[in-house]
Structure 1
């Protein structure tokens, strides 16, 4: 496996993140819900980053990027909807189509699990995956996530809920 680095998202990542998102737009939209078209501009991505960093400062999100050995963004990973009083958060990630099959989803999930445990002192992580997204399902299972029951109020169209107790 090539060396990869996971680090926190920074406000200076806008141009590199935009390139990553544009390059993978069609791929991502075949796996998850599409983003608003306004997102795909330097201003749209900068606003997106500012929002994530504000949520990070409030303790509601923890956004990361994954870089290859040349510093190119090849993935994203987030702890989102962090609810410290309940000890839980949701995980989400997206990997560059060109980097799939190199263990990045597993690397990202392990990083998120460690951040949830060590920094946020969480005890449970949740992930939502479309039935057709076999790769993400396998990655979650590889990291110990198990299918979980859908809670009241959760709307999961054509998908599954996975849970990890940590």
Structure 2
């Protein structure tokens, strides 16, 4: 695997992020809910980044991008719905289809775990994985998340909930 860099999202990432999202749109939509079509424009992505950075400033999100050795965005990772008083947050990530299977999702999730512990002082992380997404299930389990049994076996929108105690 080539060297990668995981860093915080910046407003100047708009063009590169649009390219990443547009190039992988069909791939992502086969695994997760589709984005609104208005997202797929420079203005839409810029608004998206501004929203994430505002949430970061409000200490409710921590957005990252994953870059390859040519500084091309090949993934994203986020701590979201950060609730410092409760010590919890959700994790999310998406990886370029062309680099799947190279361990980037695992590296990104490990980075989120590290940030949750060190920067945010969290005690629990939650991941939601669609039942048919075997790759993401392997990633979260490899990083120590365990499936949580929901009451009456119900799942929300076909998702499984995984929890990691930090």
TM category, shorter: over 0.9
Measured on the aligned residues, the alpha-carbon RMSD in Å equals: 1.1
Deviation beyond 4 Å, 4+ runs, structure 1: none
The equivalent residue for 2:5 is 5
Paired residue secondary structure (1:31):
coil
CA distance in 1, matches of 2:115, 2:4: 17
Paired residue secondary structure (2:35):
coil
CA distance in 1, matches of 2:41, 2:13: 13
CA distance in 1, matches of 2:62, 2:28: 21
CA distance in 2, matches of 1:107, 1:4: 9
CA distance in 1, matches of 2:61, 2:83: 9
The equivalent residue for 1:141 is 141
The equivalent residue for 1:16 is 16
- Answering whether residue 29 of structure 2 is matched by residue 29 of structure 1, we say yes
CA distance in 2, matches of 1:156, 1:84: 24
- Answering whether residue 120 of structure 2 is matched by residue 120 of structure 1, we say yes
CA distance in 2, matches of 1:60, 1:85: 11
Q: CA deviation at 1:2?
A: 1.0
Q: CA deviation at 1:25?
A: 0.0
CA distance in 2, matches of 1:164, 1:17: 29
CA distance in 1, matches of 2:143, 2:9: 23
How does 1:30-49 map onto structure 2 within 5 Å?
30-49=30-49
Q: CA deviation at 1:156?
A: 1.2
Structure 2: unaligned runs, 5 residues or longer: none
Deviates more, 1:141-150 or 1:131-140: 141-150
Paired residue secondary structure (1:64):
strand
Q: 1:50-87 deviations in whole A, cap 9, x for unaligned? A: 00000000000000000000000000000000000000
Paired residue secondary structure (1:132):
coil
Number of equivalent positions = 164
Normalising by structure 2, we get a TM-score of 0.97
CA distance in 1, matches of 2:155, 2:52: 23
Normalising by structure 1, we get a TM-score of 0.97
